[in-house]
Amino acid sequence: MSTFDRYILRRFWHVFVVSFIAMMGLYIVIDAFNNIDNFFNEGDSGTLGVMGTMARFYLFRSSMFFDTIGGIVSVTAVTVVLSLILRHGELNPVLSAGIPTYRLLFPLLWGMVMVSAIMVINKELIIPRIADELQIEAGKSGDEDEPVEPVWDFATMVQISGDRLFPARNAMTRPDFVLPTPEFVDNPTALSGSEAIFLPADENRPRSGWLIKEAEPSFDKLKLTLKKAGRATITRGSAADEIFIATEIDFDRLYRPNKTVDFISTPELIRRIKSPAYDVLSVRENSLYLHQRFTQPILNILLLFLILPLIVRREARGLVVSMCLSGLMQGVVFGTAQACLWLAGIEVIGPDLAAWGPVIVTGGLATWCWPMLRT
């Protein structure tokens, strides 16, 4: 990497870091202003304690904020760097030395790739580990209960519902499991209890599921059929009044099911897509999220190839006009992405086309605009 490449790369990171800190600071100011009462109402250790709670809250939020706007900030940094190069007349000596304009791509491309790599690490390793903290509302401790959203386990056709859910300890109060006929029981049976704890699969437990405490009816009184599916799904717990129901429907499926997908890793997302326990709509949404995780880094890099010929272009009428044209094209790409998501939501197009459509459009626009590049 030449001295000029390192110079452009340093400028890219300078603009990126400053822009991210500025946007993160603006987000903290606005969000803290709206939730300041919640922080003080829940806090009981004075002003310093509240400040510590807020610092912890927004420290975890910064990871999710970076995942949301990291791509936008990187594209903004590229636009600013190219504009500064033209504004200060630094491109003319480079062209006079016989160096082609596309050499500007190398350091900027390195910067975009590094940002994408950091975003992948953040998405796959950091966010899943702090998912519980990210779902806590401002000023809350995380021990609050949430209403249960009833769902079906389509692998066993067991309906799962309850009263309140405690995500901090994977518990559900007053659980209610409706067993299907004739796979499990001869007559429709509602299996209830005082509390249910979700237990993940481990070495001693090959299948995950819910452990119902103080089950009613008890396992001895439960009239199970002799079918293999029912016997494999419903087993006796360690205590006499406990029943274990094997299922892949975990606690987060009963708690904000449309939002928890942002907090899971790609292997977990693939597992949910392959699982027969989830309904068709959930599988479709998860497939869309999976495709987007692969297309987002590609889309960010293609935007670099689109921005360069629009800002550094032949017969440009001015830097402001070029930046406005670049912003317009980025708006077209953003509008295309939102339109594809909307069409996928109403099932006009598939999840794969909804995710890859903006990539195809951006690649086509970049190819069309590339001859405008000033060399």
86-123 burial string, b = 16+ CB within 10 Å, else e?
A: beeeebeeeeeeeeebeebbebbebbbeebbeebeebb
Kindly state whether residues 19 and 131 are assigned to the same domain.
yes
Domain boundary (227, 255, 283) is at 255
Domain boundary (198, 220, 255) is at 255
| Phi and psi, residue 176, nearest 5° | -145, 110
Q: Is residue 141 part of a domain?
A: no
pTM: 0.83
Q: Are 243 and 277 in contact (CB under 8 A)?
A: no
Total count of domains within the chain: 3
**pLDDT for res 360:** 93
| pLDDT < 70 stretches in the chain | 1, 42-45, 139-144, 226-227, 229-230, 257-259, 315-317
Label residue 20 exposed, middle or buried (CB < 10 Å: 0-12, 13-18, 19+).
buried
Kindly state whether residues 106 and 24 are assigned to the same domain.
yes
Q: Is residue 140 part of a domain?
A: no
Task: List the domain range (segments joined by +) for residue 67.
Answer: 1-135
Kindly state whether residues 91 and 202 are assigned to the same domain.
no
Q: Convert the pLDDT of each residue in 313-336 to its tens digit.
A: 776 667 778 788 888 888 888 899
Give residues with Cβ within 8 angstroms of 152, minimum separation 6: 158, 159, 160, 279
Kindly state whether residues 113 and 35 are assigned to the same domain.
yes
Q: Convert the pLDDT of each residue in 69-128 to its tens digit.
A: 998 999 999 988 888 888 887 777 877 777 777 777 888 999 999 999 999 999 999 999
Per DSSP, 313 falls in state B
**pLDDT for res 125:** 92
